[in-house]
Every structure is written in C-alpha cells, then in structure tokens.
Chain A
C-alpha cells in the first residue's frame, strides 16, 4: 500500500495564480483532511471530509476550496494564491466511525508551496 500520497512535492507560484494540490489514499479511509504547517504556528486544519460528497471547514479555510468526489481523493485548490499561503501542506487520512475521527491520522509527505 502506498498510504497517503501527495503531489507535487514542491511548487512555486506567482501571486494570483491558481493550482491544485493532490492527495490520494489507498486505505479506504472515510476521513481526510488538509493541514498547513507554519513555523511557530504548528499544524492548522484547513478543510476536512468525512466521506465522499461531504466537506467542512477547519480553522483556516479562507482562500482554499476542496471537494471529495471519491473516497480516495481529496484535492485542495488555491484559486488565487497569495504570499500568505506560502507553507508546507499536509494531507491526512484516517478511519471514521461512531466515535468520530480516529486518533491515528496517517499523513502524507507534504507539499512545500512558495508564493512569490
């Protein structure tokens, strides 16, 4: 199993450009999420999904869109990139059950994004 995969690994954008960060998992996890990691700020939740067709906002959703058309994929879209979105982005997946999201999140390797 590949686990959680993310593409690209690195990306440089100019202000105003759009792009999609890809995330896929092959563990049949219902729950998927996106975090950004910034120095001194830790990991902050952007968006999450508890299943195909269901998404919700996290702590810092502004400037980002998500969709969940399949169980496996959870892309993150930046419609108009801003320098404040320079960060390392992590996708994670886990089981989802009666007690909510599993405490064991499986993380991808991350995407390092720079917005000039």
Chain B
C-alpha cells in the first residue's frame, strides 16, 4: 500500500532558525515525491519535486530510499514561510497523487 506520513501536525520555530518538516513514505516501487504548500488565503501549489533536486524559496528535500524519507529543510526560516505543507507521492499506477496529513509551519518573529 502507498502511504505518506507526516508525524508533526504543527511545527513552530523562531525566525532565522533551521526548519525540518518530516515526511516518511511507504511504497514498494520507485517513488516520486513532492512537497506542496498552502499559504494563508492562497491555493495549494507545488513547492518542489525530488526528481529535479532544486531549491525553491530556500527549501530543499532529499529522497532517502534507505530510510524511506523525504524531509523538507531550510537553514534559516523566514516569517513568510508560515504555511501548511503537504508531502505527496505519485503512485505505482501513476494515476494518483497521495498526500500526507500535512504539517502547519509557524515562524515566530
């Protein structure tokens, strides 16, 4: 079965502190993983995809197949990073994208 687990419902850090949003997955094949973000009063949107190995808004995420993880990291948090973050996985049939339960990131000034 395909599953995405985000163990933290809420993560609160001070501005300038490092951020790590955890994501673990369960999948039997070669996964494709993504991070989506929903800012206040905005639509859910793609933040980054593991396959492109890019840094978006200072965020990076590395796929660790050994630990089945895809944690989202940023070295120095900014107040505008406050949002809801969802980890997502594209399934084996490639016809579905499964989302985790989400983590609300709150950056304190």
Contact = CB atoms under 8 A, between A and B. Distances in A.
Interface of A: 33, 35, 40-45, 48, 50, 56, 58-59, 90, 92, 99-101, 103-105, 107-110
Given A41-B101, A42-B100, A107-B43, A101 B9 contact: no
The number of chain B residues touching the other chain, given as a range, is 20 to 34
A42 B43 contact: no
Contact of A42 (B32, B86, B95): B86
B37 to A, nearest CB: 11
Given A43-B44, A105-B46, 14 more contacts: A40-B9, A43-B86, A90-B44, A92-B44, A100-B90, A100-B95, A101-B95, A103-B49, A103-B90, A103-B97, A105-B97, A107-B43, A107-B44, A108-B43
7 nearest A-B residue pairs (beta carbon): A100-B94, A42-B101, A43-B99, A107-B44, A42-B102, A104-B46, A107-B43
Interface in B1-37: 6, 9, 32, 34, 36
